[in-house]
Homo-oligomer: A and B are copies of this chain.
Amino acid sequence: MNFFQVKNQDKTTRARTGVIQTDHGLIQTPCFMPVGTQAVVKTLDQRDLTELKAPIILGNTYHLHLRPGEKLIKRLGGLHKFMNWSGPILTDSGGFQVFSLGLQKTKKPNPNQKPSKPLVKIDDNGVDFRSHIDGSLRRFTPESAIKIQHDLGADIIMAFDECTPDNADQKYAAQAMERTHRWAVQSLAAHKKLQTRQKNNQYLFGIIQGANNSELRKKSAQYICSLDFDGIAIGGESIGYNMTATEKILDWVYPYLPAEKPHYAMGLGLNPLDLFAVVERGIDMFDCVAPSRLARHGMLFVQGADKHRININNSGFTRDVRPIDKNCACSTCQNYSRAYLHHLFKAQEMTAMRLATIHNLHFYIDLMDQIRQAIGNGSFSRLMKKWR
């Protein structure tokens, strides 16, 4: 069996179903991947993830490198064993965090302080950055990002890339793209070299960049898809957080994406409708912190509500004995009322965040189930209409 196989191709859209095979189990696609940044999906434990039938979870290389460190995790048997999760794991390359943390911290400098040393310094061979935990100086290169991911031992790993911001000018975006392309080749080489020593199969994905520029995106898609990656990801600051731009970018790159490899949109899934927008554009995998982050703030998905979500903190829910969503089969909806959840949020009880996270993740995982079924039986467009 191949790493990836397409099962069904939708007749009227680019949507398709498929299956990814890893040493830690099969992943039915298209799929939403919950994010477990620090070797844990915030507020949950791995029994919750098993109950939620999470098909695969993400870990963040940047965070795990800084704490507890990939050497420790390797010594303790790898990330699966460390966190006691026997299902598939994907780790990112650290690129996004390195840049986004650098951008965040330099956006609003304190005018009374003399400018501190830049947090992120990019050269053609890698990136210097400071740890957000202790300020220590660190460096990522394509080789080190791959080595860290081999030590962590995830089933799917990512090439090291430069994530260019939305507002990058064309010249900078082009430079960053070229660097990402060179790093893609270096990531592949590093992976091949280390691969022979690994017990478990690890599959490496390349990342298309090119900001919001159609020519750059096409060029990047063409180049990345020409390389020997196991899957193709589409990266960039816009993806997921600016859906108009995301849809354009996905349309630009689609003609270059090899049908026989999985397609991954990185950092996407802010709103249930976004899931349809990318699935109909031929995307097989995506991840997002949004459903769990929204949950921790009391924003809960409800089919048919405004933006398909409610804010459980609103006083209107004080006496509402209904479950969050009457059609939801998650353990939170089976056991607790909106009134109780409203109370737990008002009382700032941590339990509220966990129960809300269970609901929002279940909502996405269940919706992806419905989407896969609909693609399989030819009713995907009908399902999409029902939601829009």
- Could you say which residues of chain B place their CB within 8 Å of the CB of A42? 349-351
Please, which residue of chain B has its CB at the minimum distance from the CB of A296?
B350
- Could you say which residues of chain B place their CB within 8 Å of the CB of A38? 343-344, 347, 349
Give Cα A247–Cα B340 distance, bound, in whole angstroms: 40
Q: Which of chain A's residues 335-358 have a Cβ closer than 8 Å to chain B?
A: 335-337, 339-340, 343-344, 346-347, 349-351, 353-355
Q: Are A43 and B351 in contact (CB under 8 A)?
A: yes
Instruction: Pick from B319, B347, B350: contact of A76, CB below 8 A.
Output: B319
| Chain copies in the assembled complex | 2
Select the residue from A45, A67, A68 with max chain B CB neighbours within 10 A.
A45
Whether A200 is near chain B, meaning CB under 8 Å from some CB there, is: no
Q: Are A340 and B84 in contact (CB under 8 A)?
A: yes
With both chains docked as a complex, state the minimum distance between the C-beta of A77 and any C-beta of chain B, in angstroms: 8
With both chains docked as a complex, state the minimum distance between the C-beta of A191 and any C-beta of chain B, in angstroms: 26
Q: Are A335 and B45 in contact (CB under 8 A)?
A: yes
With both chains docked as a complex, state the minimum distance between the C-beta of A301 and any C-beta of chain B, in angstroms: 19
Whether A44 is near chain B, meaning CB under 8 Å from some CB there, is: yes
Q: Are B354 and A350 in contact (CB under 8 A)?
A: yes
Instruction: Pick from B72, B76, B83, B335: contact of A46, CB below 8 A.
Output: B335
Q: With contacts A347-B67, A350-B353, A350-B354 known, is A76 near B339, CB below 8 A?
A: yes
Instruction: Pick from B40, B77, B343, B351: contact of A68, CB below 8 A.
Output: B343
Instruction: Pick from B46, B72, B318, B339: contact of A319, CB below 8 A.
Output: B72
Q: Are B343 and A39 in contact (CB under 8 A)?
A: yes
Give Cα A360–Cα B67 distance, bound, in whole angstroms: 26
Residues of A within 8 A of B (CB): 38-40, 42-47, 63, 67-68, 72, 75-77, 82-84, 318-319, 321, 331, 335-337, 339-340, 343-344, 346-347, 349-351, 353-355
